[in-house]
Amino acid sequence: QVQLVQSGAEVKKPGASVSVSCKASGYTFTSYAISWVRQAPGQGPEYMGWMNIYNAHTNYEEKFQGRVTMTTDTSTSTAYMELTSLRSDDTAVYYCARVRGNYHYHYMDVWGTGTTVTVSS
Protein backbone atom coordinates (compact mmCIF):
# COMPACT_ATOMS: atom_id res chain seq x y z
CA GLN A 1 0.00 0.00 0.00
CA VAL A 2 0.99 3.63 -0.44
CA GLN A 3 3.02 4.84 2.55
CA LEU A 4 5.08 7.82 3.58
CA VAL A 5 7.30 7.06 6.56
CA GLN A 6 9.02 9.97 8.25
CA SER A 7 12.08 10.26 10.46
CA GLY A 8 11.90 10.40 14.23
CA ALA A 9 11.30 13.23 16.66
CA GLU A 10 13.85 16.02 17.01
CA VAL A 11 14.69 18.46 19.80
CA LYS A 12 16.60 21.55 18.71
CA LYS A 13 17.85 24.76 20.25
CA PRO A 14 16.79 28.15 18.90
CA GLY A 15 18.90 29.12 15.89
CA ALA A 16 19.64 25.53 14.90
CA SER A 17 18.47 23.67 11.78
CA VAL A 18 16.42 20.50 11.41
CA SER A 19 16.11 18.04 8.56
CA VAL A 20 13.12 15.75 8.24
CA SER A 21 13.02 12.80 5.84
CA CYS A 22 10.01 11.18 4.17
CA LYS A 23 10.43 7.76 2.55
CA ALA A 24 7.79 6.77 0.02
CA SER A 25 6.70 3.28 -0.94
CA GLY A 26 3.88 1.60 -2.83
CA TYR A 27 3.81 3.97 -5.82
CA THR A 28 6.07 5.48 -8.49
CA PHE A 29 7.86 8.17 -6.51
CA THR A 30 8.64 10.44 -9.46
CA SER A 31 5.01 10.56 -10.64
CA TYR A 32 3.74 12.75 -7.80
CA ALA A 33 4.86 15.92 -6.08
CA ILE A 34 5.38 16.03 -2.32
CA SER A 35 4.18 18.85 -0.12
CA TRP A 36 5.06 19.71 3.46
CA VAL A 37 2.56 20.83 6.09
CA ARG A 38 3.13 21.58 9.75
CA GLN A 39 0.75 21.62 12.69
CA ALA A 40 1.53 23.46 15.91
CA PRO A 41 0.09 22.04 19.14
CA GLY A 42 -3.69 22.52 19.22
CA GLN A 43 -3.73 24.35 15.88
CA GLY A 44 -4.90 23.65 12.36
CA PRO A 45 -2.46 22.59 9.64
CA GLU A 46 -0.20 25.17 7.97
CA TYR A 47 1.02 24.70 4.39
CA MET A 48 4.75 25.19 3.80
CA GLY A 49 5.30 24.37 0.11
CA TRP A 50 5.79 21.59 -2.42
CA MET A 51 8.36 19.91 -4.58
CA ASN A 52 8.02 18.35 -8.03
CA ILE A 53 9.90 15.09 -7.54
CA TYR A 54 10.35 14.55 -11.31
CA ASN A 55 12.27 17.77 -12.02
CA ALA A 56 13.14 18.98 -8.49
CA HIS A 57 11.24 22.24 -8.95
CA THR A 58 10.17 23.74 -5.66
CA ASN A 59 7.62 26.30 -4.53
CA TYR A 60 7.79 27.65 -0.98
CA GLU A 61 5.20 29.70 0.83
CA GLU A 62 6.33 33.28 1.35
CA LYS A 63 6.39 32.86 5.14
CA PHE A 64 9.10 30.21 4.87
CA GLN A 65 11.14 31.65 2.00
CA GLY A 66 14.83 31.82 2.93
CA ARG A 67 14.48 29.31 5.76
CA VAL A 68 13.14 26.15 4.10
CA THR A 69 14.74 23.86 1.54
CA MET A 70 13.03 20.83 0.03
CA THR A 71 15.12 18.19 -1.72
CA THR A 72 14.80 14.62 -2.90
CA ASP A 73 16.83 11.48 -3.47
CA THR A 74 15.02 9.53 -6.14
CA SER A 75 17.38 6.56 -5.75
CA THR A 76 15.87 5.90 -2.32
CA SER A 77 12.40 7.41 -2.93
CA THR A 78 13.00 9.87 -0.11
CA ALA A 79 12.05 13.53 0.21
CA TYR A 80 13.68 15.91 2.66
CA MET A 81 12.69 19.18 4.27
CA GLU A 82 15.25 21.36 6.04
CA LEU A 83 14.23 24.32 8.16
CA THR A 84 16.90 26.71 9.44
CA SER A 85 17.12 29.47 12.07
CA LEU A 86 14.64 27.65 14.27
CA ARG A 87 12.48 29.59 16.74
CA SER A 88 10.21 28.43 19.51
CA ASP A 89 7.16 28.98 17.31
CA ASP A 90 8.51 26.40 14.86
CA THR A 91 7.61 23.74 17.43
CA ALA A 92 5.13 21.55 15.57
CA VAL A 93 4.47 18.20 13.95
CA TYR A 94 5.79 18.27 10.40
CA TYR A 95 4.08 16.16 7.74
CA CYS A 96 4.99 15.26 4.19
CA ALA A 97 2.06 14.45 1.91
CA ARG A 98 1.50 13.25 -1.64
CA VAL A 99 0.08 15.88 -3.96
CA ARG A 100 -3.01 15.45 -6.13
CA GLY A 101 -4.58 17.95 -8.50
CA ASN A 102 -2.29 20.26 -10.42
CA TYR A 103 1.01 21.32 -9.01
CA HIS A 104 0.15 24.81 -7.85
CA TYR A 105 -3.40 24.13 -6.73
CA HIS A 106 -3.54 20.80 -5.00
CA TYR A 107 -4.81 18.74 -2.13
CA MET A 108 -3.04 15.85 -0.38
CA ASP A 109 -4.28 12.28 -0.61
CA VAL A 110 -1.67 10.40 1.44
CA TRP A 111 0.04 11.81 4.51
CA GLY A 112 3.26 10.85 6.22
CA THR A 113 3.56 9.55 9.74
CA GLY A 114 4.58 12.96 11.10
CA THR A 115 7.74 14.20 12.79
CA THR A 116 7.59 16.15 16.03
CA VAL A 117 10.08 19.00 16.13
CA THR A 118 10.53 20.73 19.47
CA VAL A 119 12.51 23.96 19.66
CA SER A 120 13.60 24.79 23.17
CA SER A 121 16.58 26.31 24.91
Give residues with Cβ within 8 angstroms of 49, minimum separation 6.
35, 36, 58, 59, 60, 61, 64, 68, 70
Q: Which of 18, 22, 79, 108 binds another protein (CB under 8 A)?
A: 108
Query: Which of 70, 97 has the CB closer to another protein?
Result: 97
Write down the least CB distance from residue 49 to another protein, Å: 9
**Whole-number Å distance between alpha carbons of 103 and 62:** 17
**Whole-number Å distance between alpha carbons of 74 and 71:** 10
Residues in region 8-67 near another protein by CB under 8 A: 43-47, 61-62
- Return the amino acid letter for 61: E
Applying CB under 8 A, which part among 22-30, 69-77, 82-90, 109-117 lies near another protein? Answer: 109-117
- Residue 87 binds another protein (CB under 8 A): no
Q: Do 96 and 4 meet the contact criterion of CB atoms below 8 Å apart?
A: yes
Interface positions with another protein (CB under 8 A): 43-47, 61-62, 95, 97, 100-101, 104-114
